[in-house]
Structure 1
Amino acid sequence: MSGPNELLREARERTPSRRAPGEHMSRSELADAVCAWLWSTTEVKYELDGHYIAKLERGAVRWPGAAYRSGLRSVLGVSTDTDLGFFPPPGTAVTEPDPIPPSSMAGHDDDLVDAGDESIALLSFAEQSNVGELTVEQLHADIERIAQSYLRMPIRPLFEKSRAIRDRAFALLAGNQSPRQSRDLYSAAGWAITLLGWMSVDLGRPDIAEGHTRTAWACAEAADHDVLRGWIRATQHTAAFWQEDFSRAAAYAEDGLRYSAGTARLFLASAASVDLARAGRTDKARDLLDVARTLAVRPADSEPGGVFLCTPERAEGVWADTHLAFGDPRRTAEHADHSVAQFETAPYAVRNSGSERMARLQQAKARLLLGELDGAVEAVEPVLALPPEYRVRPLVHRLAEVAALTAPYLRSPKGRLLRDRIAEFTQQPGLPARLAPPNRQRVTAESP
Structure 2
Amino acid sequence: MPAANDLLRSARERTPSRRAPGEYMSRVELAETVCAWLWETTEVRYELDGHYIAKLERGAVRWPGAAYRSGLRYVLNVASDNELGFLPPPGAPAGELELVPPSTIGFDEEVGLAGDESIALLTFAEESNVGDLTVEQLHADIERISQLYLRTATKPLFERSRAVRDRAFVLLAGRQSPKQSRDLYAAAGWAITLLAWMSVDLGHPEVAESHARTAWACAEAADHNELRGWIRATQHTAAFWQDEFDRAADHAQHGLRYATGTSRLFLTSALAVDLARSGRVAEARAALAAAQEVPCTPSIPELGGPLLCTPERAEGFWADAQLTLGDAKATLVHADRSVARFEARPHALRNPGSERMVRLQQVKAHLTLGELDGAIAALEPVFATSLEYRVRPLIHRMGEVAAMTAPYTRVARARQLRERIREFIYRPDLPGRQLDHRPQPLIAKES
Give the TM-score band, short-chain normalised.
0.5 to 0.7
Q: 2:176 — aligned with what?
A: 177
Deviation for aligned residue 1:302:
4.1
1:227 touches 1:300 (CA, 8 Å); kept in 2? Answer: no
Deviation for aligned residue 1:410:
1.9
Deviation for aligned residue 1:445:
6.3
Matches of 2:407 and 2:190 in 1, distance apart? 45
Deviation for aligned residue 1:387:
1.2
Is 1:375 equivalent to 2:374 in the alignment?
yes
CA shift in 2, pair 1:194/1:430, >3 Å: farther
Structure 1, 340-349 or 225-234: larger mean CA deviation = 340-349
CA shift in 2, pair 1:274/1:433, >3 Å: farther
Matches of 2:223 and 2:138 in 1, distance apart? 18
Deviation for aligned residue 1:348:
2.4
2:373 touches 2:440 (CA, 8 Å); kept in 1? Answer: no
Is 1:447 equivalent to 2:447 in the alignment?
no
Matches of 1:302 and 1:169 in 2, distance apart? 21
CA shift in 2, pair 1:351/1:267, >3 Å: same
1:409 touches 1:447 (CA, 8 Å); kept in 2? Answer: no
**Map of 1:213-228 to 2, 5 A cutoff?**
213-228=212-227
Equivalent AA in structure 2 for residue 139 of structure 1: L
CA shift in 2, pair 1:385/1:434, >3 Å: farther
Q: 1:421 — aligned with what?
A: 420
Matches of 2:298 and 2:355 in 1, distance apart? 19
Equivalent AA in structure 2 for residue 146 of structure 1: I
Q: 1:187 — aligned with what?
A: 186
Is 1:390 equivalent to 2:395 in the alignment?
no
Percent identity for Structure 1 against Structure 2: 64
Q: Deviation digits for residues 113-141 of structure 1, max 9, x if unmatched?
A: xxxxxxxxxxxxxxxxx7444xx111111
Deviation for aligned residue 1:189:
0.4
**Map of 1:263-302 to 2, 5 A cutoff?**
263-302=262-301
Deviation for aligned residue 1:346:
1.3
2:161 touches 2:195 (CA, 8 Å); kept in 1? Answer: yes
Q: 2:337 — aligned with what?
A: 338
**Map of 1:37-436 to 2, 5 A cutoff?**
131-133=132-134, 136-431=135-430, 433-436=432-435
2:143 touches 2:303 (CA, 8 Å); kept in 1? Answer: yes
Matches of 1:443 and 1:269 in 2, distance apart? 38
Deviation for aligned residue 1:411:
1.7
Structure showing greater Rg: 1
Across the aligned residues of Structure 1 and Structure 2, the Cα RMSD in angstroms comes to: 1.7
Deviation for aligned residue 1:299:
1.8
1:227 touches 1:303 (CA, 8 Å); kept in 2? Answer: no
Deviation for aligned residue 1:428:
2.5
Matches of 1:161 and 1:430 in 2, distance apart? 28
Q: Secondary structure at the match of 1:294?
A: coil
Q: Deviation digits for residues 273-321 of structure 1, max 9, x if unmatched?
A: 0000000001111111111100112324342111100000000001000
Matches of 2:270 and 2:132 in 1, distance apart? 38
Matches of 1:236 and 1:286 in 2, distance apart? 23
Q: Identify unmatched segments of 5+ residues in structure 1.
A: 1-129
Q: Secondary structure at the match of 2:292?
A: helix
2:132 touches 2:181 (CA, 8 Å); kept in 1? Answer: no
Structure 1, 296-305 or 214-223: larger mean CA deviation = 296-305
Q: Secondary structure at the match of 2:236?
A: helix
Deviation for aligned residue 1:427:
2.1
Q: Deviation digits for residues 215-271 of structure 1, max 9, x if unmatched?
A: 000000000001100100000000000000000000000110000110000000000
Deviation for aligned residue 1:386:
1.1
CA shift in 2, pair 1:436/1:213, >3 Å: same
2:268 touches 2:291 (CA, 8 Å); kept in 1? Answer: yes
Deviation for aligned residue 1:349:
3.0
Equivalent AA in structure 2 for residue 242 of structure 1: W
Deviation for aligned residue 1:432:
5.4
TM-score where L is the length of structure 2: 0.68
Between 1 and 2, higher relative CO (CA 8 Å, sep ≥ 6) is seen in 2
1:385 touches 1:432 (CA, 8 Å); kept in 2? Answer: no
Equivalent AA in structure 1 for residue 139 of structure 2: H
Deviation for aligned residue 1:213:
0.3
CA shift in 2, pair 1:199/1:346, >3 Å: same
Q: Secondary structure at the match of 1:423?
A: helix
2:240 touches 2:274 (CA, 8 Å); kept in 1? Answer: yes
Deviation for aligned residue 1:446:
3.8
Matches of 1:430 and 1:172 in 2, distance apart? 44
Matches of 2:331 and 2:153 in 1, distance apart? 30
Q: 2:15 — aligned with what?
A: none
Matches of 1:327 and 1:235 in 2, distance apart? 26
| Count, aligned residues | 314
Equivalent AA in structure 1 for residue 201 of structure 2: D
Matches of 1:291 and 1:251 in 2, distance apart? 17
Matches of 1:419 and 1:429 in 2, distance apart? 15
1:384 touches 1:434 (CA, 8 Å); kept in 2? Answer: no
Q: Deviation digits for residues 181-236 of structure 1, max 9, x if unmatched?
A: 11111001000000000000000000000000000000000000011001000000
Q: 1:49 — aligned with what?
A: none
Matches of 2:438 and 2:250 in 1, distance apart? 48
Equivalent AA in structure 2 for residue 327 of structure 1: G
Deviation for aligned residue 1:447:
3.1
CA shift in 2, pair 1:375/1:189, >3 Å: same
